[in-house]
Amino acid sequence: MELPPGAPPSPLFTLRETPLSGRAIFAAQDIPADTLVFRSADLVLSVVLREYRREVCGHCFSYEYGRDLLVRDGGVGFAFCSEECRQLWREEQGEVGVECWRKVEGLVRGRSREDSEMVDVGLPRPRSKEIDEAWASVGAQAELIRVARAGERDANTVPQGLSNERQVRLANGATAHVGGVKVTKQHRKALQKALLSPINPDVMTFCAAGLLWRYNHPRDWDKLLALAVDVTPYHNSDDLQAFTRTYLHLLSILPLPVLELCTPDTLRALSTRDSHNSFGIRSLEDDGSEFFGYGCWPSASYFNHSCGPNVEKRRVGRAWEFRTAQEVKAGEELCITYLSGEERKLSRGRRGVVLRANWGFVCGCERCEEL
Ligand SMILES: C[S@@+](CC[C@H](N)C(=O)[O-])C[C@H]1O[C@@H](n2cnc3c(N)ncnc32)[C@H](O)[C@@H]1O
Protein backbone atom coordinates (compact mmCIF):
# COMPACT_ATOMS: atom_id res chain seq x y z
CA MET A 1 0.00 0.00 0.00
CA GLU A 2 1.04 3.62 -0.51
CA LEU A 3 2.36 5.04 2.75
CA PRO A 4 -0.15 7.43 4.35
CA PRO A 5 1.25 10.92 5.06
CA GLY A 6 3.41 10.77 8.17
CA ALA A 7 3.66 6.96 8.28
CA PRO A 8 7.08 5.56 9.19
CA PRO A 9 9.32 4.78 6.21
CA SER A 10 11.92 2.03 6.72
CA PRO A 11 13.78 -0.65 4.72
CA LEU A 12 13.22 -2.96 7.72
CA PHE A 13 9.42 -3.08 7.53
CA THR A 14 6.34 -2.43 5.41
CA LEU A 15 2.86 -1.20 6.23
CA ARG A 16 -0.11 -3.33 5.17
CA GLU A 17 -3.88 -3.43 5.68
CA THR A 18 -5.03 -6.34 7.83
CA PRO A 19 -8.53 -7.85 8.03
CA LEU A 20 -9.06 -7.22 11.78
CA SER A 21 -6.63 -4.61 13.04
CA GLY A 22 -6.40 -1.90 10.39
CA ARG A 23 -2.97 -1.03 9.08
CA ALA A 24 -0.08 -2.94 10.63
CA ILE A 25 3.69 -3.06 10.39
CA PHE A 26 5.39 -6.25 9.11
CA ALA A 27 9.08 -7.11 9.07
CA ALA A 28 10.45 -6.94 5.50
CA GLN A 29 13.47 -9.05 6.49
CA ASP A 30 14.80 -11.04 9.45
CA ILE A 31 15.65 -8.55 12.19
CA PRO A 32 18.02 -9.47 15.04
CA ALA A 33 17.00 -8.85 18.67
CA ASP A 34 17.70 -5.37 20.10
CA THR A 35 17.69 -3.64 16.70
CA LEU A 36 16.52 -0.03 16.63
CA VAL A 37 13.77 -0.36 14.02
CA PHE A 38 12.39 3.15 14.23
CA ARG A 39 12.81 6.46 16.02
CA SER A 40 9.86 8.83 16.11
CA ALA A 41 10.46 12.49 16.87
CA ASP A 42 7.46 14.08 15.16
CA LEU A 43 5.65 15.25 18.28
CA VAL A 44 2.45 17.02 17.28
CA LEU A 45 1.07 18.01 20.63
CA SER A 46 1.68 17.16 24.24
CA VAL A 47 -0.19 17.69 27.46
CA VAL A 48 1.78 17.83 30.70
CA LEU A 49 -0.97 17.58 33.30
CA ARG A 50 -1.43 20.73 35.31
CA GLU A 51 -0.43 19.01 38.56
CA TYR A 52 2.98 18.10 37.05
CA ARG A 53 3.72 21.42 35.38
CA ARG A 54 6.35 22.50 37.94
CA GLU A 55 8.13 19.15 37.94
CA VAL A 56 8.15 17.98 34.32
CA CYS A 57 10.10 19.93 31.70
CA GLY A 58 7.70 21.49 29.18
CA HIS A 59 10.11 20.69 26.36
CA CYS A 60 12.00 17.41 27.00
CA PHE A 61 9.68 15.97 29.73
CA SER A 62 12.57 15.27 32.10
CA TYR A 63 11.62 14.76 35.74
CA GLU A 64 13.80 14.98 38.83
CA TYR A 65 12.04 12.76 41.38
CA GLY A 66 9.33 15.35 42.02
CA ARG A 67 11.68 18.30 42.56
CA ASP A 68 10.49 21.64 41.21
CA LEU A 69 12.42 22.56 38.07
CA LEU A 70 14.74 25.54 38.23
CA VAL A 71 13.72 27.43 35.09
CA ARG A 72 10.19 28.72 35.47
CA ASP A 73 8.28 30.67 32.88
CA GLY A 74 5.33 31.70 35.00
CA GLY A 75 3.78 33.92 32.36
CA VAL A 76 3.20 30.94 30.07
CA GLY A 77 2.68 28.37 32.85
CA PHE A 78 5.54 25.99 31.98
CA ALA A 79 8.76 25.04 33.77
CA PHE A 80 11.94 23.74 32.14
CA CYS A 81 14.96 21.71 33.13
CA SER A 82 17.36 24.20 31.52
CA GLU A 83 17.52 27.59 29.86
CA GLU A 84 18.22 25.72 26.61
CA CYS A 85 14.94 23.79 26.84
CA ARG A 86 13.06 27.00 27.58
CA GLN A 87 14.61 28.60 24.51
CA LEU A 88 13.85 25.58 22.30
CA TRP A 89 10.26 25.55 23.55
CA ARG A 90 9.87 29.25 22.74
CA GLU A 91 11.32 28.78 19.26
CA GLU A 92 8.94 25.94 18.59
CA GLN A 93 5.88 27.86 19.76
CA GLY A 94 6.86 31.01 17.86
CA GLU A 95 5.83 34.51 18.85
CA VAL A 96 2.12 33.88 18.34
CA GLY A 97 2.37 30.62 20.26
CA VAL A 98 4.03 32.20 23.27
CA GLU A 99 1.35 34.91 23.25
CA CYS A 100 -1.30 32.19 23.08
CA TRP A 101 0.09 30.38 26.15
CA ARG A 102 0.23 33.70 28.01
CA LYS A 103 -3.46 34.22 27.36
CA VAL A 104 -4.30 30.66 28.37
CA GLU A 105 -2.27 30.96 31.57
CA GLY A 106 -3.90 34.31 32.36
CA LEU A 107 -7.29 32.64 32.16
CA VAL A 108 -6.48 29.40 33.97
CA ARG A 109 -4.37 30.76 36.81
CA GLY A 110 -6.30 31.65 39.91
CA ARG A 111 -9.42 29.71 39.01
CA SER A 112 -10.79 27.56 41.78
CA ARG A 113 -9.80 23.91 41.89
CA GLU A 114 -13.42 22.78 41.63
CA ASP A 115 -13.50 24.24 38.15
CA SER A 116 -10.85 21.83 37.02
CA GLU A 117 -12.06 18.69 38.69
CA MET A 118 -14.21 16.58 36.44
CA VAL A 119 -15.50 13.52 38.23
CA ASP A 120 -15.51 10.37 36.13
CA VAL A 121 -18.16 8.14 37.65
CA GLY A 122 -18.10 5.60 34.88
CA LEU A 123 -20.74 7.33 32.81
CA PRO A 124 -21.12 6.12 29.22
CA ARG A 125 -19.20 7.61 26.34
CA PRO A 126 -21.30 10.06 24.34
CA ARG A 127 -22.32 8.65 20.98
CA SER A 128 -22.02 10.48 17.65
CA LYS A 129 -25.49 12.06 17.86
CA GLU A 130 -24.87 13.48 21.35
CA ILE A 131 -21.47 14.75 20.21
CA ASP A 132 -22.96 16.49 17.15
CA GLU A 133 -25.68 18.06 19.31
CA ALA A 134 -23.21 19.30 21.93
CA TRP A 135 -21.07 21.04 19.31
CA ALA A 136 -24.15 22.47 17.56
CA SER A 137 -25.46 23.81 20.89
CA VAL A 138 -22.51 26.20 21.28
CA GLY A 139 -22.63 27.38 17.64
CA ALA A 140 -24.74 30.50 18.25
CA GLN A 141 -22.58 31.70 21.15
CA ALA A 142 -19.46 31.00 19.15
CA GLU A 143 -20.73 33.21 16.31
CA LEU A 144 -21.42 36.07 18.71
CA ILE A 145 -17.92 35.77 20.15
CA ARG A 146 -16.42 35.74 16.67
CA VAL A 147 -18.16 39.02 15.88
CA ALA A 148 -16.90 40.54 19.12
CA ARG A 149 -13.35 39.45 18.26
CA ALA A 150 -13.67 40.64 14.64
CA GLY A 151 -14.60 44.03 16.08
CA GLU A 152 -11.35 43.98 18.05
CA ARG A 153 -9.41 43.21 14.88
CA ASP A 154 -11.09 45.92 12.86
CA ALA A 155 -10.57 48.43 15.66
CA ASN A 156 -6.87 47.55 15.58
CA THR A 157 -6.51 47.91 11.84
CA VAL A 158 -8.45 51.08 10.92
CA PRO A 159 -6.15 53.91 9.88
CA GLN A 160 -4.85 56.20 12.62
CA GLY A 161 -6.91 59.23 11.72
CA LEU A 162 -10.17 57.29 11.78
CA SER A 163 -9.54 54.91 14.60
CA ASN A 164 -10.12 56.99 17.74
CA GLU A 165 -13.81 57.55 17.42
CA ARG A 166 -14.49 53.89 16.69
CA GLN A 167 -12.27 52.61 19.47
CA VAL A 168 -13.72 54.98 22.07
CA ARG A 169 -17.19 53.99 21.16
CA LEU A 170 -16.30 50.32 21.53
CA ALA A 171 -14.58 50.82 24.84
CA ASN A 172 -17.62 52.70 26.14
CA GLY A 173 -19.70 49.63 25.52
CA ALA A 174 -22.17 51.29 23.17
CA THR A 175 -23.29 49.84 19.85
CA ALA A 176 -20.72 50.41 17.14
CA HIS A 177 -20.17 49.53 13.50
CA VAL A 178 -16.72 48.12 12.99
CA GLY A 179 -15.54 47.24 9.52
CA GLY A 180 -19.10 46.46 8.43
CA VAL A 181 -19.77 44.15 11.44
CA LYS A 182 -22.16 45.47 14.01
CA VAL A 183 -20.64 44.80 17.43
CA THR A 184 -23.25 45.07 20.16
CA LYS A 185 -23.56 44.45 23.86
CA GLN A 186 -24.92 41.02 23.00
CA HIS A 187 -21.64 40.05 21.36
CA ARG A 188 -19.56 41.26 24.26
CA LYS A 189 -21.86 39.54 26.75
CA ALA A 190 -21.46 36.23 24.92
CA LEU A 191 -17.71 36.60 25.28
CA GLN A 192 -17.89 37.53 28.98
CA LYS A 193 -20.20 34.59 29.66
CA ALA A 194 -17.74 32.19 28.02
CA LEU A 195 -14.89 33.52 30.15
CA LEU A 196 -16.83 32.92 33.35
CA SER A 197 -17.67 29.28 32.63
CA PRO A 198 -15.71 26.45 34.30
CA ILE A 199 -12.29 25.59 32.91
CA ASN A 200 -10.62 22.21 32.59
CA PRO A 201 -6.94 23.20 32.33
CA ASP A 202 -5.78 19.94 30.77
CA VAL A 203 -8.44 20.03 28.06
CA MET A 204 -7.46 23.65 27.50
CA THR A 205 -3.79 22.65 27.09
CA PHE A 206 -4.71 19.88 24.65
CA CYS A 207 -6.83 22.14 22.44
CA ALA A 208 -4.42 25.08 22.53
CA ALA A 209 -1.44 22.82 21.72
CA GLY A 210 -3.27 21.23 18.79
CA LEU A 211 -4.42 24.54 17.34
CA LEU A 212 -0.94 25.99 17.64
CA TRP A 213 0.59 22.97 15.97
CA ARG A 214 -1.80 23.38 13.05
CA TYR A 215 -1.01 27.09 12.92
CA ASN A 216 2.76 26.52 12.98
CA HIS A 217 2.76 23.47 10.65
CA PRO A 218 -0.11 23.92 8.18
CA ARG A 219 1.34 21.39 5.71
CA ASP A 220 1.51 18.61 8.30
CA TRP A 221 -2.19 18.57 9.16
CA ASP A 222 -2.83 15.60 6.84
CA LYS A 223 -0.40 13.52 8.94
CA LEU A 224 -2.82 13.84 11.82
CA LEU A 225 -5.87 13.24 9.63
CA ALA A 226 -4.31 10.02 8.31
CA LEU A 227 -4.36 8.39 11.77
CA ALA A 228 -6.92 5.82 12.94
CA VAL A 229 -10.17 7.56 13.91
CA ASP A 230 -12.17 7.16 17.12
CA VAL A 231 -15.62 8.63 16.39
CA THR A 232 -16.55 8.65 20.10
CA PRO A 233 -13.41 10.07 21.71
CA TYR A 234 -14.98 11.80 24.75
CA HIS A 235 -14.89 9.82 28.01
CA ASN A 236 -18.30 10.98 29.23
CA SER A 237 -20.69 13.93 28.93
CA ASP A 238 -18.62 16.09 31.30
CA ASP A 239 -15.58 15.52 29.17
CA LEU A 240 -17.49 16.45 26.00
CA GLN A 241 -18.77 19.62 27.63
CA ALA A 242 -15.28 20.50 28.82
CA PHE A 243 -14.26 20.49 25.13
CA THR A 244 -17.17 22.60 23.87
CA ARG A 245 -16.59 25.12 26.70
CA THR A 246 -12.89 25.20 25.93
CA TYR A 247 -13.77 26.02 22.32
CA LEU A 248 -15.62 29.13 23.54
CA HIS A 249 -12.84 30.03 25.96
CA LEU A 250 -10.25 29.83 23.24
CA LEU A 251 -12.39 31.81 20.79
CA SER A 252 -12.53 34.51 23.45
CA ILE A 253 -8.81 34.76 24.20
CA LEU A 254 -6.67 33.40 21.38
CA PRO A 255 -4.43 35.83 19.52
CA LEU A 256 -6.26 36.88 16.35
CA PRO A 257 -4.00 35.03 13.86
CA VAL A 258 -4.95 31.64 15.39
CA LEU A 259 -8.65 32.43 15.68
CA GLU A 260 -9.62 31.23 12.19
CA LEU A 261 -8.33 27.76 12.95
CA CYS A 262 -10.31 27.54 16.16
CA THR A 263 -13.32 25.64 14.80
CA PRO A 264 -15.28 22.57 15.91
CA ASP A 265 -13.81 20.77 12.88
CA THR A 266 -10.23 21.32 14.01
CA LEU A 267 -10.93 20.50 17.65
CA ARG A 268 -12.92 17.39 16.79
CA ALA A 269 -10.23 16.19 14.40
CA LEU A 270 -7.67 16.53 17.19
CA SER A 271 -9.77 14.49 19.63
CA THR A 272 -10.82 11.78 17.18
CA ARG A 273 -7.17 11.22 16.14
CA ASP A 274 -5.54 11.61 19.53
CA SER A 275 -7.87 9.15 21.25
CA HIS A 276 -6.49 5.89 19.84
CA ASN A 277 -3.06 7.18 18.94
CA SER A 278 -1.60 9.07 21.85
CA PHE A 279 1.27 7.80 23.96
CA GLY A 280 1.44 8.27 27.71
CA ILE A 281 4.29 10.46 28.94
CA ARG A 282 5.44 8.65 32.05
CA SER A 283 8.37 8.55 34.43
CA LEU A 284 11.28 6.64 32.94
CA GLU A 285 12.00 4.79 36.19
CA ASP A 286 9.68 2.49 38.22
CA ASP A 287 8.19 0.90 35.12
CA GLY A 288 6.63 4.25 34.24
CA SER A 289 4.43 4.32 37.32
CA GLU A 290 3.95 8.10 37.24
CA PHE A 291 1.72 9.40 34.48
CA PHE A 292 2.67 13.00 33.63
CA GLY A 293 0.51 13.43 30.56
CA TYR A 294 0.34 12.33 26.96
CA GLY A 295 1.27 13.27 23.43
CA CYS A 296 0.69 12.39 19.81
CA TRP A 297 3.53 11.29 17.51
CA PRO A 298 1.95 10.35 14.14
CA SER A 299 4.81 8.22 12.82
CA ALA A 300 4.77 6.15 16.03
CA SER A 301 1.06 5.45 15.70
CA TYR A 302 1.20 2.63 13.15
CA PHE A 303 2.44 -0.09 15.51
CA ASN A 304 -0.40 -2.36 16.57
CA HIS A 305 -0.74 -3.86 20.02
CA SER A 306 0.12 -7.34 21.24
CA CYS A 307 -0.09 -8.61 24.82
CA GLY A 308 3.18 -10.42 24.05
CA PRO A 309 4.97 -7.73 22.01
CA ASN A 310 8.13 -8.33 19.95
CA VAL A 311 9.03 -4.62 19.94
CA GLU A 312 9.76 -2.46 22.97
CA LYS A 313 9.13 1.24 22.96
CA ARG A 314 11.12 3.63 25.08
CA ARG A 315 10.80 7.37 25.42
CA VAL A 316 14.06 9.24 25.07
CA GLY A 317 13.29 12.86 25.86
CA ARG A 318 10.80 14.01 23.22
CA ALA A 319 11.28 11.00 20.95
CA TRP A 320 10.26 7.34 20.98
CA GLU A 321 12.62 4.52 20.12
CA PHE A 322 11.34 1.15 18.96
CA ARG A 323 13.66 -1.87 19.38
CA THR A 324 13.07 -5.52 18.70
CA ALA A 325 12.68 -7.41 21.99
CA GLN A 326 13.64 -10.68 20.26
CA GLU A 327 14.65 -11.90 16.84
CA VAL A 328 11.84 -11.22 14.36
CA LYS A 329 11.43 -13.21 11.15
CA ALA A 330 10.57 -11.63 7.79
CA GLY A 331 6.78 -11.40 7.42
CA GLU A 332 6.03 -11.28 11.18
CA GLU A 333 4.02 -8.38 12.47
CA LEU A 334 5.95 -5.88 14.60
CA CYS A 335 3.88 -5.08 17.68
CA ILE A 336 4.33 -3.01 20.80
CA THR A 337 2.11 -3.20 23.86
CA TYR A 338 -0.37 -0.46 24.68
CA LEU A 339 -0.60 -1.65 28.29
CA SER A 340 1.22 0.02 31.16
CA GLY A 341 3.56 -1.98 33.41
CA GLU A 342 0.89 -3.04 35.90
CA GLU A 343 -1.72 -3.74 33.22
CA ARG A 344 0.57 -6.24 31.48
CA LYS A 345 0.34 -8.55 34.50
CA LEU A 346 -3.46 -8.73 34.36
CA SER A 347 -5.41 -11.78 33.30
CA ARG A 348 -6.54 -12.08 29.69
CA GLY A 349 -10.10 -11.04 30.66
CA ARG A 350 -8.98 -7.93 32.50
CA ARG A 351 -6.54 -6.93 29.79
CA GLY A 352 -9.42 -7.25 27.37
CA VAL A 353 -11.52 -4.84 29.44
CA VAL A 354 -8.70 -2.25 29.51
CA LEU A 355 -8.01 -2.55 25.79
CA ARG A 356 -11.69 -2.29 24.86
CA ALA A 357 -12.27 0.70 27.13
CA ASN A 358 -9.15 2.66 26.21
CA TRP A 359 -8.45 1.59 22.66
CA GLY A 360 -11.78 0.31 21.38
CA PHE A 361 -10.70 -3.11 20.13
CA VAL A 362 -10.97 -6.76 21.06
CA CYS A 363 -7.46 -8.12 21.17
CA GLY A 364 -6.77 -11.14 19.02
CA CYS A 365 -3.02 -11.32 19.59
CA GLU A 366 -1.20 -14.67 19.95
CA ARG A 367 -0.94 -14.43 23.76
CA CYS A 368 -4.71 -13.88 24.03
CA GLU A 369 -5.54 -16.63 21.52
CA GLU A 370 -3.26 -19.20 23.19
CA LEU A 371 -5.29 -19.31 26.42
C1 LIG B 1 -2.28 3.34 17.26
S2 LIG B 1 -3.41 2.66 16.15
C3 LIG B 1 -2.46 1.43 15.36
C4 LIG B 1 -2.51 1.54 13.85
C5 LIG B 1 -3.86 1.24 13.27
N6 LIG B 1 -4.03 -0.18 13.04
C7 LIG B 1 -4.09 2.03 11.99
O8 LIG B 1 -4.56 1.47 11.01
O9 LIG B 1 -3.82 3.25 12.00
C10 LIG B 1 -4.44 1.80 17.27
C11 LIG B 1 -5.64 1.11 16.66
O12 LIG B 1 -5.23 -0.01 15.88
C13 LIG B 1 -6.11 -1.13 16.07
N14 LIG B 1 -5.38 -2.22 16.76
C15 LIG B 1 -4.15 -2.14 17.30
N16 LIG B 1 -3.77 -3.32 17.83
C17 LIG B 1 -4.80 -4.16 17.66
C18 LIG B 1 -5.03 -5.54 18.02
N19 LIG B 1 -4.13 -6.27 18.67
N20 LIG B 1 -6.21 -6.10 17.67
C21 LIG B 1 -7.16 -5.37 17.01
N22 LIG B 1 -7.00 -4.09 16.64
C23 LIG B 1 -5.84 -3.47 16.96
C24 LIG B 1 -7.24 -0.61 16.95
O25 LIG B 1 -8.25 -0.13 16.10
C26 LIG B 1 -6.58 0.53 17.70
O27 LIG B 1 -7.50 1.47 18.20
Query: What does the H/E/C string look like for the chain?
Result: CCCCCCCCCCCCEEEEECCCCCEEEEECCCECCCCEEEEECCCCEEEECHHHCCCECCCCCCECCCCCCCEEECCCCEEECCHHHHHHHHHHHHHHHHHHHHHHHHHHCCCCHHHHCCCCCCCCCCCHHHHHHHHHHCHHHHHHHHHHHHHHHHHHHCCHHHHHHHHHHHHCCCCEEECCEEECHHHHHHHHHHHHCCCCHHHHHHHHHHHHHHHHCHHHHHHHHCCCCCCCCCCCHHHHHHHHHHHHHHHHHCCHHHHCCCCHHHHHHHHHHHCCCCEEEECCCHHHCCEEEEEECHHHHHCEECCCCCEEEEEECCEEEEEECCCECCCCECEECCCCHHHHCCCHHHHHHHHHHHHCCCCCCHHHHHC
Cβ of residue 198 lying under 6 Å from some atom of ligand 1: no
pTM for the predicted model, two decimal places: 0.92
pLDDT category, 156, cuts 50, 70, 90? low
30: CA distance to ligand 1 center in Å? 23
Work out which ligand 1 atom sits closest to the CA atom of 363: 20
pLDDT category, 367, cuts 50, 70, 90? confident
Mean pLDDT, range 60-70, rounded to an integer: 93
Atom 15 of ligand 1, nearest CA residue: 304
pLDDT category, 163, cuts 50, 70, 90? very low
Give yes or no for residue 187 having a pLDDT over 60. yes
Work out which ligand 1 atom sits closest to the CA atom of 364: 20
Give yes or no for residue 164 having a pLDDT over 80. no
Residue 115 pLDDT: 55
Residue 107 pLDDT: 95
Cβ of residue 21 lying under 6 Å from some atom of ligand 1: yes
212: CA distance to ligand 1 center in Å? 27
Share of the chain above pLDDT 90, in %: 79
Residue 364 pLDDT: 83
Share of the chain above pLDDT 70, in %: 90
Atom 21 of ligand 1, nearest CA residue: 21
Give yes or no for residue 169 having a pLDDT over 50. no
**Mean pLDDT over all residues of the chain?**
91
103: CA distance to ligand 1 center in Å? 37
Mean pLDDT, range 275-287, rounded to an integer: 92
Cβ of residue 355 lying under 6 Å from some atom of ligand 1: no
Domains for the chain: give ranges and CATH numbers: 13-42+297-370 (2.170.270.10), 50-108 (no CATH), 118-274 (no CATH)
Residue 173 pLDDT: 47
102: CA distance to ligand 1 center in Å? 37
Mean pLDDT, range 297-321, rounded to an integer: 97
pLDDT category, 179, cuts 50, 70, 90? low
Higher pLDDT, 287 or 30: 30
Give yes or no for residue 344 having a pLDDT over 80. yes
Mean pLDDT, range 166-189, rounded to an integer: 64
Residue 177 pLDDT: 52
pLDDT category, 371, cuts 50, 70, 90? low
Cβ of residue 359 lying under 6 Å from some atom of ligand 1: yes
Residue 165 pLDDT: 39
Residue 117 pLDDT: 57
Mean pLDDT, range 131-140, rounded to an integer: 98
Residue 167 pLDDT: 45
Mean pLDDT, range 157-173, rounded to an integer: 44
Mean pLDDT, range 136-149, rounded to an integer: 97
- Highest mean pLDDT of the ranges 119-128, 160-169, 230-239: 230-239
pLDDT category, 152, cuts 50, 70, 90? confident
Cβ of residue 363 lying under 6 Å from some atom of ligand 1: yes
305: CA distance to ligand 1 center in Å? 7
Cβ of residue 369 lying under 6 Å from some atom of ligand 1: no
